[in-house]
Amino acid sequence: MPTIAFLGAGRMASAIVDGLLSQKICAPTALTCVDGGDGTAVALAARTGIGVAPELAYLLRDSDALVLACKPQQLADLDARLAELTAGKLVLSILAGKRLASLAKVFPHARALVRAMPNTPGQIGAGITAWCPLRTLAPADRTLVDAILGALGTVVEVAEPQLDAVTGLSGSGPAYVFEFAAALRDAGEAAGLPRAIAWKLAMETILGSARLMARTGTEPEELRNQVTSPNGTTYAGLQRMAARDFRGLIKETVLAATARSEELSRD
Give the interface segment with ligand NAP, choosing from 5-13, 22-30, 151-159, 177-185 (CB under 6 A). 5-13
Please report whether residue 179 would count as binding ligand NAP according to CB under 6 A: no
In angstroms, the Cα distances linking 31 to 4, 60, 86, 94 are: 5, 11, 16, 17
What minimum distance in Å lies between the beta carbon of 158 and ligand NAP? 14
Kindly state the DSSP code that residue 136 receives in the 8-state scheme. Answer: P
Residues 6 or more apart from 90 whose CB is under 8 A from it? 64, 65, 66, 110, 111, 112, 113, 114, 141, 144, 145
Q: Are strands 51-52 and 65-68 parallel, antiparallel or unpaired?
A: unpaired
Give the interface segment with ligand NAP, choosing from 1-9, 81-89, 208-216, 241-249 (CB under 6 A). 1-9
Give the interface segment with ligand NAP, choosing from 90-98, 106-114, 134-142, 152-160 (CB under 6 A). 90-98
Near ligand NAP by CB under 6 A: residue from 35, 64, 141, 164: 35
Q: What gap in Å lies between CA 185 and CA 267, rounded to an integer?
A: 40
Please report whether residue 9 would count as binding ligand NAP according to CB under 6 A: yes
Please report whether residue 74 would count as binding ligand NAP according to CB under 6 A: yes
Please report whether residue 164 would count as binding ligand NAP according to CB under 6 A: no
Beta carbons of 99 and 133 less than 8 angstroms apart: no
Near ligand NAP by CB under 6 A: residue from 4, 5, 7, 112: 7
Phi, psi dihedral angles at 228 (to 5 degrees)? -115, 105
Q: What gap in Å lies between CA 191 and CA 87, rounded to an integer?
A: 61
Please report whether residue 71 would count as binding ligand NAP according to CB under 6 A: yes
Dihedral Cα 240, 242, 244, 246, nearest 10 deg: 120
Give the interface segment with ligand NAP, choosing from 36-44, 183-191, 204-212, 220-228 (CB under 6 A). 36-44
Please report whether residue 94 would count as binding ligand NAP according to CB under 6 A: yes
Long-range contacts of 176-185 (CB under 8 A, 24+ apart): 176/250, 176/253, 177/206, 180/206, 181/206
What minimum distance in Å lies between the beta carbon of 43 and ligand NAP? 8
Please report whether residue 119 would count as binding ligand NAP according to CB under 6 A: yes
Beta carbons of 115 and 166 less than 8 angstroms apart: no
Please report whether residue 153 would count as binding ligand NAP according to CB under 6 A: no
Please report whether residue 8 would count as binding ligand NAP according to CB under 6 A: yes
What minimum distance in Å lies between the beta carbon of 210 and ligand NAP? 18
Summarize as ranges the residues that interact with ligand NAP (CB under 6 A).
7-13, 34-40, 69-72, 74, 78, 94-96, 117-120, 171
